[in-house]
Amino acid sequence: MQVRFEIVDATRLRGHERTRPELLHRLTEEIRRDGYVKKPLLVAEGSYVILDGHHRYWALRALGCVRIPVYLVDYASEEIQLTTWPEAAVTDVTKEEVLARAERDPFPAKTTRHIVQFPLEDHAVDLKDLR
């Protein structure tokens, strides 16, 4: 699997899930305190749909970031598996539905769980490089 690291304009990214306010607040404060974000978002190449990292996206936006670090991946790859979290309201989701939800009516927070069969290393990026 080819994974490409990029820092992209935040307005290109589209989410397919909502966020949990308490988790978003906690993460925003952690990133503010650290001064950097540790993990790039996992994003579908071409469509720029966020697969993993909705809370990081909104935390960075709340901190004034206009650019976001991402790993771009081929979402059609069999090396990316899709399931749901145990407590999710929706129990059966397809990749096509994930892409469609970025266009309308996002899933509740923590619905989809993407499992990748390849390493995604932490790649810390300083907040000043994202503003």
Question: Active site residue: 6, 17, 22, 29, which one?
Answer: 17
Check: CB of residue 52 under 8 Å from CB of residue 81.
no
CA angle 111, 58, 97 (to 5 degrees): 35
Is 17 annotated in the active site?
yes
Give the tokens for residue 126: 């300083």
Could you give the CA distance from residue 114 to residue 18 in angstroms, rounded to a whole number? 16
Could you give the CA distance from residue 62 to residue 82 in angstroms, rounded to a whole number? 28
| Integer CA distances (angstroms), 101 to 50, 70, 91, in order | 11, 20, 15
Catalytic residues, by residue number, are 17
